[in-house]
A = this chain, B = another copy of it.
Amino acid sequence: MPGNRAGFELNARLQADSEHVMWLGLCELRLMNDSRWLWLMLIPRRPDIEEVHELTPLDQAMLTFETNLVAQELKAFTRCTKINIGALGNIVRQLHVHVIARNEGDAAWPGPVWGHGQRTPYQGGERDRLVASIRSLF
């Protein structure tokens, strides 16, 4: 399975909160199950990494390339006002990078999305349709 690179296992909370979209070269791309924002997440498939600077220089370059590719496609797809990129990890330590489409007047605008209010899961087949649309961008 592409996800099981030597010793790598996706954190249980990240798995529960989001849906698999696809495998990129280094990262797994996932969609957060929160319909308030179109919110993607990249998780480098490397074990025991908490900070970006702990990755090898090559992996750092790969992560940058994949993050910026995702950001560019997400902005074109949503025509959003601003992309927000963040690597926080205060709650879940496994390295993960958020890429979020933000719009003036959205649920947390102009503040950050992390920790804001209650998650609003997608309804019906909306999430699956969105996953298919995002997959088709790459």
Binding site for B on A (CB under 8 A): 50-53, 60-61, 63-65, 67-69, 71-72, 75, 81-91, 93, 102, 109-112, 114-115
Contact = CB atoms under 8 A, between A and B. Distances in A.
A87 B71 CA distance: 11
A64 B60 CA distance: 7
Given A85-B88, A90-B110, 13 more contacts: A50-B82, A51-B83, A52-B68, A52-B83, A52-B85, A53-B72, A53-B83, A63-B64, A82-B93, A84-B86, A85-B87, A86-B87, A110-B115
Copies of this chain present: 2
Nearest to A81: B90
A75 B109 CA distance: 30
